[in-house]
Structure 1
Amino acid sequence: MSILNEANDCHKILVRLVSYANTICSELFRVKDLIPEDFINPSNCCKDLIFDYSYIPKSESIDMKINSSRELRIIDMKIKEKYERIIWRTFQVFESIYQYTKQVEEFYDKIIEGEYLQYNAETLLVDVEGKQLVCETLSFVVRLLLLLDILIPGIVRERILIFVLRHKRSNEFGDLDKIIPLVKRTEYIVGSSKKPSNYPDEYLKRIHVNDYIVQMAIGRMLSDDIYNTTKSFPLPDHRSSALSAQGSLLTMILFLSPQTLNNNISFMNEVVNKFFGDCWIVPIYIGHCIDLTFFWDSYKSARQALQRVVTPSHIENIWKGHQQVMAKCKVELQGYLEEGGMTDEKVMLNMQKLINCQRNCNVVLRWALLHGTYPIKKLRDIFVKPKYHEDIIDFLLETAQFEFELKRIISNIVKEKPLQWENLKNESSKRMKDLSNYFNDENKLSEHSNSGLMKWCLFMSEQIDKLDVKEISSGKSLSKLIQAMEEVETNYLNDLSLVVVETVRKTKDMLTKMFRLLNVNDTVRGLLDNISDCSYANELLSTQVYVEYLQQIIKKNPRNSLKLRSLILKMSSILHLALLRMMQAKTDEQMENVSKYYSEVLVNYVQRVLEVIPEQVFLLINSIAKLQVTSIPETPVFVEKKDIISFALFDERNYLAELTHAVSIYAEGILAMETTFVGIIQVDPVKLLEDGIRKALGRRLKNMFSKTLQFKIKGNLGETLTQLSELSNQIGGFSTSFRYIQDYLHIDGLKVWQEEFTNVISTCVNEECNSFLANGLDTVNSQTFIGKLTSQIMSIVDYRKNVFYLSAANGWFYKDGKEVIGYVFMRKLVSALSVLGVTGINQLCAFKCVKELNDIITTVNLIVEKYSVFNQMTQNFNENKLNEQNIFKVIDNGLSVVTKIGRSLIDTLHNLGTLQLLREQFNCQLCSENRTKATSLHFALKSFDQALVHDFFENPNKKEREPLIYNEINRFLDVAGFVPALSKVYITCAEGGDQIASVLSSFILYCSQFFIFDSKYQTLMLRPKAPVPYDPYVLAVGIVTVFRQFHPSTMWASFSYLSLYVKGVMTNCLTLSKQIPFIIFQLCDFMTSIIQIGGYDKKIYDSLIPVSLLASLNQPN
């Protein structure tokens, strides 16, 4: 039974193992780019909670330390919530590697024990597919571990394992005890010039594969061409290229036999002579390579065998030979790539020459690319001269373009082959029939009657009709027919007319073309694909040196992007390598997943290289913007005849036309690529250009915001206004120029501008807001321009700047009446950042409000927990034990506590009030912009909002409501500025209202002594020489905001405490005929302001405090 038979258990297991290994590799490549930075270089807040294996012996003491610290527990929880998903995914890769090695070990143990009746170790390695699969499964055991060590550093692996150990339940992983030693760190450091003495020998001892199988596989690979690739590279000089895949497998499997590498010099000489005589940089998997001079250095026999060939003189001779071949190939490629250099006829005529040229090109490229990044500088300098990489890339692009054209032509020939064959066959048969009629004896009038030639032509016609394009024997028949025609043409047609001779010649040419068509088939296409394999260079070509030179080539001539398309199609051979066994295993889901990953890798590479075009375009746009802003004024609608010449500006407009033409040339360069499939992803050049423009535009906008909004002086209003004006001018000019060139870029400029502007603002806002979320671990705030600008605005209205808020004018002012933050500032802000920017700052202020509220509630809880007076106050109030006589002692006790800690609470409440008033200003500006620039939307939103509110209050018990409607309309109302900040509920507080009421009542009384009511400004003002320099109105807004987070009864409970205090004082004063203390009037003014700001019912307040009685008394001066 063949091993490829699906009923064969060995076939199923081996193919699935190799397919599984390829899937693991693709997932390993994915997760290595997703590992959080805190696991690579832990930040200060995480370094005490992310551990390597040193945690294991000290786990109990470390866990005890974490559990005893509330701060560490909170950070630990945040780390878990933020990173759990990706860390668990990475751990699953580690687990998969262990499972794969375990399954390979078990399978070969069963083979040795004879559990499979059809096959044993010997018969498996005799079967063509069997020996391939055996070698591949064994090599992946080593490949996976080496790739793991190369891609994810050992200390990172240990941190991931310990994270899983600490945060996952033990029943979720049964093999953790075996995975921990498998992925333990090694001493190997990627990029280091020194290798640990026993590496990778000690590392690979963590796995166990039957040595008999290993030795059998090594012997088979040394004696056989297991992939039969010598037919693709038949020349002896091409042997290292022909056996490259087999040499890679052998390299991996030899690591499983360290005794061979150390003690078998004759065997290693044979290995080096066959596989590594002129190539010792070995690809191990999809572009990841190892240097044998480095990895074999600790193995005695392997090192000695390799030292015989890796010598300066030998390297120099190899490179000279490749240089000569490369020079010859360049001449050939130049001829083939000229217009008309490769046509269908020429390709069929010169098929072998073209294939030989392709072979030579790829052999040179393989050696030059692999060894051009040689880690040992002394040997690399022998052949890596100035412009080495540039020459290799030029040669690679020409080769890729040649292969693309050759494959395209051959594909077209194969596709049209049946039709061409039938046309040629019918035409040549018809011509022979016509000649038989020409020589027919029955035609008495003909002078050319010849029965022999007539029969011969008729016979040839019949033989031609029998030809079948699908029959292998047709080639032999055609050869005989062509030979027969040549003999007849030479011996019998000399005395006949030219028409007859020409007919026979043309028929022979048709038969010759049919013969050539037979030689063009799918086998040829497969041969070309094997020769053009470039999977070894995937990582090499992604290095910065090659990417930069590719970008320089495209920058010089944008139409060179056509060559890039050919290069990407050549690099797509990585898909074939990864998917071949998956197709055999019929694992469709995994195959689609892996194919998608490698396709995305190639597409990302295309985008990375082509980034140069959008960058160049935006350099031109900068020049256009500068020209339009400074040199070409906007032309008015009406211009007097005498002034027309002043608007002509011939030189400037000619320069503008040159810049615009340059933009269109770059755009045409990408658009010339045409739609191409890279793996399973379609690459549309129009979308590629638009995506590149979008990314570059986003970067430019972000840089423009960040560089302009740099505040040297904290809280300086003049500097801030200047920078906002400068930013407004830059954005305006850039926007105008971008829309000007949109037609030349084949994009919708206004749409792209608005979407990317929105993305930049939203990204920065989200980045700032994320630091306030539950899983935010960022310790440094205001990293983006949105955060910095918000902090600057907060600094401008800081109470220390001697500014105060005037509610009648809805803004902050200096004491001399000059506006600080108001209408002018908001207009500047909208002009610079647009409505989106203001909305973003507004949203960030909302998150800051949440933080301040949480801090206030935490502070109040700590106060109540530490001082029992407030709990007693609440208890007495709930039990109706408080009255006008005993309230003094209770309030005085609370006041004494608040006096000690009041300053810190005032700071937090003042910040909260400032944020709320800023939000009110932002909402006012947003509403104004919405009303003037989107009038229909404004009134539609307003009407819809009123209708929903009306419906809610008219039908409070209505069950059939659509929550999505409320969520969606709320999103629009927020942006349009319809939601009053002072009525916003930021956090839900079902409990704690009593404590808030008791503490804030004492706090309000404490603050009242510092404020007076200013009749001139009709607002609360700070008393002269007051010890606390706060704005009373802003503080009142902060207090209202705290009350708003609780049930309204909380505020009235607080006012009830104060009303009892006011009544008690007034009663005593009236009884003793004393003047009412000024603090009572201050307190009432402060409470009145809170009522007005919060929009509370004034009647309830009047029922609590006898205001009429208070007003009848004279206030002291």
Structure 2
Amino acid sequence: MVLGRLRSDDVYNQISAYPFPEHRSTALATQAAMLYVCLFFAPSILHTHTAKMREIVDKYFPDNWVISIYMGITVNLIDSWEPYKAARTALSNTLDSSNVRDISSRYASRMQKLIPHTQQLLKEGALIEENVLDHVSKVTNVVRECNVTLRWLMLHASMPGPAWEGNKRCKQIRDQVIADAKYSPLQVFELLLNTAQFELKIRDMFKCLLIEKQNKWEKYKKEGVERMMELSEVFSGIKPLTRVEKNENLQSWFGAMGKQIDSLKHEDATVSGRKIVQLIQALQEVQEFHQLESILQVRQFLADTRNYLHQMIRTINIKEDVLITLQIVGDLSYAWEIVDSYTNIMQEGIKKNPSLVIKLRATFLKLSSALEIPLLRINQAHSPDLVSVSQYYSGELVGYVRKVLHIIPETMFGLLARIVSLQTSVIKELPTRLDKDRLREYAQLEDRHEVAKLTHSVSIFTEGILMMKSTLVGIIRVDPKQLLEDGIRKELVKHIATALDNGLTFNPKAKTSELVGKLETLGKIMDGHRRSFEYIQDYVNIYGLKIWQEEVSRIISYNVEQECNSFLRNKVQDWQSVHQSKTIPIPKFPPTDSTSVNFIGRLARELIRITDPKTTIYIEHMTAWYDVKTHNEVINMKFFSKITNSVGTAGLTGLDRLFSFMIVTELQNYLNALQKGVLKDKAWLEMLAVVSKGLSPSSAIISNPGRFYSQHTSRAQRVWPQILDRVLKVGQMQLLRKHIAYELNISCKFDSKHLASALQVMNDALLAEIEAHYKEPSKPYPKESNPLLYELSTYLDWAGISNPYMKIYVTTKNLEYFSVLSFLFVVSQLPKLTYAKTVGSLISRRVQDQIDGVPFIVGVQTLLRQFHPEIRNQFMLYLGQYVKSYMETAISSGTGKATELPNEVMTTLYFLESFAHYSGITRKTLAVHIPEPILDQYQILSTS
């Protein structure tokens, strides 16, 4: 039954929109697609029913063999019906080479006629209201002819789909069509543009006319009635015109005509139309038979009335049927995917002539009409999926619009690259004072003319896209200004991401670090981009600095997030990232080494490599790292401003965040190893218990400290190097974080002093509140659930108002004997260090010891900071006992001089002083653990 109905009836009532016999296959195309699908449920027809298949082919496929099933999914019947004998035989007539030639030639000649014809119609003044209303059928015929031609050529000359790509017969027929139809993608695209624009103009005109239809009708009717009444008065003799005699017959006749016109109703179009034709004829006759032509004013009144009646006929012919026909005929759903093959032509056209965007707007609107196909049945079924489906297809179409129009920002950035090159390397910066002799040298007229020319080209492209007007594509409104901005952002993101990825790639085999040179080069590239972007913003009417900062920040935040994924158990996927966007995607580049995911990881690891405590010494007073062997400066405080110049504040903050993750990982690995390997080992626990017992009470003096301490530290010789490695790494990264915080704070104070001051005051106020609460718990303070603390801490990190040394990175349980273990570890390493007055810090005694004092102290401090303060106090008590024991031994043995302290004491005291400095502990607290005279003596000796 279904097949019978589809074979015989016009199920979708399309034939009324396509009255010409040669358009029959196009009119029945939707039905043909349904019939094609349904035939597979009755394969016997395809195989054996030759007569039925012949009937189907003659009716639906006499001149077409590539059909669109749904939203651009195309099928070639040559390939699809190959296995079915009856279907294949029936189709052979259509595929006869002479038939294919005739059809192709027919469409080729139509194409040659339609392109100039549509261009003529689109000229200014051709599509005026009167012309269109007088020739509605001709106009719809042109639209119909264009769409049928476009459909046939786009389907039959399109690139083969994946299903029928390898079929030899399909290729032969397609090649014949291309040859016989003289197929040119450019011409097809031109016809598509003209048709879309023509349809849009007609549709917009009819929509306006339909809205104004009743008002116009009433207006014309009123004017006609008034003219008749005035003529009636003229022949009454009361209101005589020059040489018009009184005529009662004409007076009453014109009065009656006025009433006749007044009685016309626009609702009954057929009756009113016939009546108006009769009235026009009557007015013509009265003018001829009563010799009224000689009276100029009367003749004018009669001509005006006839004109108004003609306008009424035109107005009554404005029907919604025209819009419905245009909608049916203009369907472009078959080209939903095929249209992509014309993208390059569109983009090349835009590059040559940016104003082409106006015509393309009509094409995009025509393409959006394809959305009605998938939405029609969903809407009729009152399905709740209507919104989501329309949202999906509209999004897809807007994506395609963006893809086509992206050529504008792409071309603009090509021009911008040249402007960057000229501004950074060719055009000289004008000095404050300039000698007149050197004026020509600085004028650089040709170069400046080149910049002006390029700038003009950029502004032309901008003008092109902004002429497009705001357009509703499906259910999404496309704002051309937003489209331009998004395109510029996308291109900017691509350029910056590429520059960062290429600029921060390091050669692992390089003898000296390439970091400084790479950062300087990258800084110049970024500065060039920023300056040219700043220069161009006024010409493209965008907020350049805002876009620059937002996009650079987004790129770096995204890369930091991806780099930090390696430290997370639950990774942030691309589609989950708040920094990634479908409209303006951040490109991902393949990693260049085995450890880092992207440039931010490479930068961080290169920084760690060149400041390795095993090969460098950090000198606090110089705020710089020096090479252990050559004593050359590796990096100093100014180095971090180079990072700011190349990757900006966002890059520096991202680096800081990455170091935080690395520190957390190091601390977690250390504590996990400690818990599993040391604190669960019976031998270790017994040894630590013996040491703890031997050291208590902490006020007691150890009688033979050298022997006592060394016998216990030597028992763990295999473990100390592993602990030292982690402690030095943590200390090194803490130092780097401190330098980053300083650089961020300085640049924040310099660039935005009000923000820096406001954040500092806010931070101090909150800390004061919290301290007041702990002193007096009845006082309120910001709760942990309050987002204020969390949000403010982000601002503080970006402004560098934070102290990494005070941070708690991991939550820990109270580990038994942890203070004893930490003390033994420090005591085992102190002999490797010596206090150097020349540099004012602890340095390794021998180069091969591979230990640096400052990272060591900072690392130990950070490690103890993760535990309860009591453990740190216990650790300091043990160190105080260590100092006192060695002092006592020196005094009692008589080896100690009044003017010097034992080496062990001197080293330990410097360690404790630095430890207190980095931990924020006062001298008063230190004096609790070590007698003041010893501290005073140390102060004198260390400074003398």
Give the structure-1-normalised TM-score. Answer: 0.73
| Structure 1 residue 988 corresponds to structure 2 residue 811 | yes
Residue 734 of structure 1, CA deviation = 2.6
Find the residue that maps to 2:567 and give its secondary structure: coil
Residue 998 and residue 400 in structure 1: after superposition, are their counterparts in 2 closer, same or farther (change >3 A)? farther
| Structure 1 residue 953 corresponds to structure 2 residue 771 | yes
Assess if the C-alpha contact under 8 Å between 1:822 and 1:921 holds in 2. Answer: no
CA distance in 1, matches of 2:192, 2:727: 67
Aligned counterpart, 1:524: 322
**Amino acid aligned to 2:323:** R
Aligned counterpart, 2:373: 577
CA distance in 2, matches of 1:866, 1:265: 87
| Structure 1 residue 709 corresponds to structure 2 residue 509 | no
Assess if the C-alpha contact under 8 Å between 1:870 and 1:999 holds in 2. Answer: no
User: Once structures 1 and 2 are overlaid, which stretch shifts more, 333-342 or 464-473?
Assistant: 464-473
- Per-residue Cα deviation, 1:518-571 (whole angstroms, up to 9, x for no partner): 221222112111111112222222x3x322221111111111111121111111
- The percent of aligned pairs where both chains have the same amino acid is 33
Residue 678 of structure 1, CA deviation = 2.0
Residue 319 and residue 636 in structure 1: after superposition, are their counterparts in 2 closer, same or farther (change >3 A)? same
- Per-residue Cα deviation, 1:880-906 (whole angstroms, up to 9, x for no partner): 996769999998897567433443443
* 1:478 paired residue among 271, 276, 282: 276
CA distance in 2, matches of 1:1110, 1:424: 110
Aligned counterpart, 1:223: 8
**Amino acid aligned to 1:351:** V
**Amino acid aligned to 2:255:** L
User: Once structures 1 and 2 are overlaid, which stretch shifts more, 591-600 or 1038-1047?
Assistant: 591-600
Aligned counterpart, 1:761: 556
**Amino acid aligned to 1:248:** A
Aligned counterpart, 2:90: 305
| Structure 1 residue 975 corresponds to structure 2 residue 795 | no
- Per-residue Cα deviation, 1:318-364 (whole angstroms, up to 9, x for no partner): 22221111211112101111111211111111211111111111111
Structure 2 residues not aligned, in runs of 5+: 574-590
- Per-residue Cα deviation, 1:395-433 (whole angstroms, up to 9, x for no partner): 211111111111111122222222221222122233333
Residue 512 and residue 749 in structure 1: after superposition, are their counterparts in 2 closer, same or farther (change >3 A)? same
| Structure 1 residue 1016 corresponds to structure 2 residue 838 | yes
Q: How do 1:738-749 residues align onto structure 2 when only pairs under 5 Å count?
A: 738-749=533-544
* 2:52 paired residue among 243, 258, 267: 267
Assess if the C-alpha contact under 8 Å between 2:365 and 2:473 holds in 1. Answer: yes
Residue 844 of structure 1, CA deviation = 1.8
User: Once structures 1 and 2 are overlaid, which stretch shifts more, 771-780 or 678-687?
Assistant: 771-780
CA distance in 2, matches of 1:305, 1:873: 97
Residue 667 of structure 1, CA deviation = 0.9
* 1:805 paired residue among 618, 633, 645: 618
Aligned counterpart, 1:731: 526
Structure 1 residues not aligned, in runs of 5+: 1-215
Q: How do 1:133-532 residues align onto structure 2 when only pairs under 5 Å count?
A: 216-310=1-95, 312-371=97-156, 372-374=158-160, 375=165, 376-384=170-178, 388-438=184-234, 454-472=251-269, 473-485=271-283, 497=295, 500-532=298-330
Residue 923 of structure 1, CA deviation = 0.8
User: Once structures 1 and 2 are overlaid, which stretch shifts more, 337-346 or 833-842?
Assistant: 833-842
Assess if the C-alpha contact under 8 Å between 2:364 and 2:473 holds in 1. Answer: yes
CA distance in 1, matches of 2:842, 2:189: 75
Assess if the C-alpha contact under 8 Å between 1:894 and 1:999 holds in 2. Answer: no
| Structure 1 residue 1044 corresponds to structure 2 residue 839 | no
* 2:405 paired residue among 606, 610, 614: 610
Q: How do 1:34-113 residues align onto structure 2 when only pairs under 5 Å count?
A: none
Residue 922 of structure 1, CA deviation = 0.6
Assess if the C-alpha contact under 8 Å between 2:704 and 2:889 holds in 1. Answer: no
Aligned counterpart, 2:754: 936
- Per-residue Cα deviation, 1:971-1003 (whole angstroms, up to 9, x for no partner): 2221121211111112222x1533654554443
Residue 684 of structure 1, CA deviation = 2.0
Residue 311 and residue 865 in structure 1: after superposition, are their counterparts in 2 closer, same or farther (change >3 A)? farther
Residue 1049 and residue 275 in structure 1: after superposition, are their counterparts in 2 closer, same or farther (change >3 A)? farther
CA distance in 2, matches of 1:929, 1:341: 64
Tell me how large the CA RMSD over aligned residues is: 3.6
Give the structure-2-normalised TM-score. Answer: 0.86
Residue 590 and residue 440 in structure 1: after superposition, are their counterparts in 2 closer, same or farther (change >3 A)? same
Residue 1057 and residue 888 in structure 1: after superposition, are their counterparts in 2 closer, same or farther (change >3 A)? farther
Residue 873 and residue 221 in structure 1: after superposition, are their counterparts in 2 closer, same or farther (change >3 A)? farther
Residue 676 of structure 1, CA deviation = 2.0
- Per-residue Cα deviation, 1:74-94 (whole angstroms, up to 9, x for no partner): xxxxxxxxxxxxxxxxxxxxx
Aligned counterpart, 2:583: none
- Per-residue Cα deviation, 1:919-947 (whole angstroms, up to 9, x for no partner): 11111111222233323333332233222
User: Once structures 1 and 2 are overlaid, which stretch shifts more, 848-857 or 403-412?
Assistant: 848-857
The aligned length equals 893
- Per-residue Cα deviation, 1:943-982 (whole angstroms, up to 9, x for no partner): 3322222222122223452533322322222112121111
**Amino acid aligned to 2:398:** V
Find the residue that maps to 2:634 and give its secondary structure: strand
Aligned counterpart, 1:625: 420
Find the residue that maps to 2:103 and give its secondary structure: helix
CA distance in 2, matches of 1:736, 1:639: 23
Assess if the C-alpha contact under 8 Å between 2:276 and 2:309 holds in 1. Answer: yes
- Per-residue Cα deviation, 1:845-870 (whole angstroms, up to 9, x for no partner): 11222222222222222313663334
Residue 395 and residue 868 in structure 1: after superposition, are their counterparts in 2 closer, same or farther (change >3 A)? farther
CA distance in 1, matches of 2:100, 2:687: 92
CA distance in 1, matches of 2:468, 2:855: 62
Find the residue that maps to 1:231 and give its secondary structure: helix
CA distance in 1, matches of 2:190, 2:459: 25
* 1:1033 paired residue among 851, 854, 859: 854
Greater Cα radius of gyration, structure 1 or 2:
2
**Amino acid aligned to 2:263:** K
Find the residue that maps to 1:228 and give its secondary structure: coil
CA distance in 1, matches of 2:11, 2:715: 87
**Amino acid aligned to 2:335:** A
Assess if the C-alpha contact under 8 Å between 1:715 and 1:796 holds in 2. Answer: no
Residue 1109 and residue 418 in structure 1: after superposition, are their counterparts in 2 closer, same or farther (change >3 A)? closer
- Per-residue Cα deviation, 1:708-750 (whole angstroms, up to 9, x for no partner): 3332356776632222222222222332222222221112222
Assess if the C-alpha contact under 8 Å between 2:293 and 2:299 holds in 1. Answer: no
CA distance in 2, matches of 1:441, 1:921: 106
CA distance in 2, matches of 1:952, 1:599: 53
* 1:908 paired residue among 719, 722, 726: 726
CA distance in 1, matches of 2:159, 2:308: 51
Find the residue that maps to 1:994 and give its secondary structure: coil
Residue 1110 and residue 397 in structure 1: after superposition, are their counterparts in 2 closer, same or farther (change >3 A)? closer
- Per-residue Cα deviation, 1:756-788 (whole angstroms, up to 9, x for no partner): 232222222222223322222899653332222
| Structure 1 residue 843 corresponds to structure 2 residue 637 | no
- Per-residue Cα deviation, 1:88-108 (whole angstroms, up to 9, x for no partner): xxxxxxxxxxxxxxxxxxxxx
- Per-residue Cα deviation, 1:207-259 (whole angstroms, up to 9, x for no partner): xxxxxxxxx22222222111101111222222222122222323333333344
* 1:868 paired residue among 660, 682, 688: 682
Aligned counterpart, 2:587: none
User: Once structures 1 and 2 are overlaid, which stretch shifts more, 284-293 or 545-554?
Assistant: 284-293
Assess if the C-alpha contact under 8 Å between 1:433 and 1:461 holds in 2. Answer: yes
* 1:564 paired residue among 360, 371, 374: 360
Residue 481 and residue 866 in structure 1: after superposition, are their counterparts in 2 closer, same or farther (change >3 A)? same
CA distance in 1, matches of 2:692, 2:792: 41
Residue 627 of structure 1, CA deviation = 2.2
Assess if the C-alpha contact under 8 Å between 1:742 and 1:748 holds in 2. Answer: yes
Residue 1053 of structure 1, CA deviation = 4.5
